[in-house]
Amino acid sequence: MLTTKDQIFVNELSKEFAVSEVTIRNDFKQLETKKLLIRARGGAMSVSKTVSFDQNLGEKNKININEKIRIGKTAAQLITNHDTVIIDSGTTTLEIVKNLTPSLSQVTIITNALNIAQHLLSSPNINLIMPGGVMRQNSLSLIGPLAEKNFRNFFVDKVFLGVDGFDTTMGISTPNMEEAFLNQIMIEVAKEVIVVTDSSKFLRKSLAFICKLDRISTVITDSGISEVDKKRLIDANIKVIIA
């Protein structure tokens, strides 16, 4: 069933096979020890859909690029005059700055991504802030204690986060633990948390947990998101925008 559905649920299997939910959970436990599935709240997920690896930007740029461009264009429309925003590192977030409205004024963008900062150098109406830190080669992002300390000094209207894993029963994640911790600080200092992700990231989990659904305000994704995942987000009072 997991090879066709990618995710299965305890209550559904209990009814289908006429056994107790305890029996199903025990089966899940044994199958997980054999690395045949990953248990999640209320069910289990396919192993092939649960681990997102730490790819470099060059590799990421080749994946679902058309979807990322549409998502970036849609997200860029949410940045308006006088906004102060944080834009996280990533290939989808880079598409946001590529599509900012040229007439924007009095906008401050804080980013820890070198490639995003470089693109903004040609935007004279944008007040650019880079908090510093140690460069992580894979993502061209600045992380570590200096970045963490400096991000705590800000308070912003919106933060735009790209993610490597999005489990709609648990939350968002990324392969690097230092990136995840810095993302948590970004979330703490923002009034609104906007996650930008193509639909391939759903039903995947990465190594480092960032936050639960209750911290997310808006998700911008593409039409490939399943109805199950979309409903979970809406039920969690998250605004879902399909680009």
Q: Which domain holds residue 210?
A: 57-242
Joined tokens for residue 216: 């997310």
Residues 121 and 175 in one domain: yes
Sign of CA dihedral 94, 99, 102, 107: negative
Cα 94 to Cα 91: distance, rounded to the nearest angstrom: 5
Residues 77 and 192 in one domain: yes
Residues 159 and 213 in one domain: yes
| H or E stretch at 22 | helix 21-33
Query: Residue 148 sits in a domain of what CATH number?
Result: 3.40.50.10470
Mean pLDDT, consecutive 10-residue stretches, the chain (243 aa), reads 77 93 91 74 66 54 80 96 95 94 92 94 91 88 94 97 92 90 96 95 84 96 94 96 96
Read off the pTM: 0.77
Confidence at residue 239, expressed as pLDDT on a 0 to 100 scale: 97
Residues 24 and 92 in one domain: no
Residues 193 and 92 in one domain: yes
Residues 150 and 213 in one domain: yes
Of 198, 232, 239, the residue nearest 216 (C-alpha): 239
Half-sphere exposure (Cβ direction) of 153: Cα atoms closer than 13 Å: 10
Residues 68 and 181 in one domain: yes
Residues 63 and 159 in one domain: yes
CA 128 to each of CA 21, 122, 178, 205: distance values in angstroms, whole numbers, following the listed order: 54, 11, 23, 32
Q: Tell me how many domains the chain contains.
A: 2
Q: Which residues contact 210 (CB under 8 A, 6 or more apart)?
A: 161, 163, 171, 172, 173, 174, 180, 183, 184, 187
Half-sphere exposure (Cβ direction) of 145: Cα atoms closer than 13 Å: 0
Half-sphere exposure (Cβ direction) of 166: Cα atoms closer than 13 Å: 22
Q: What is the greatest pairwise CA distance in the chain?
A: 66
Residues 137 and 30 in one domain: no
Classify strands 239-242 and 218-221 as parallel, antiparallel or unpaired.
Answer: parallel
Residues 19 and 137 in one domain: no
Residues 16 and 125 in one domain: no
Residues 114 and 202 in one domain: yes
Confidence at residue 30, expressed as pLDDT on a 0 to 100 scale: 87
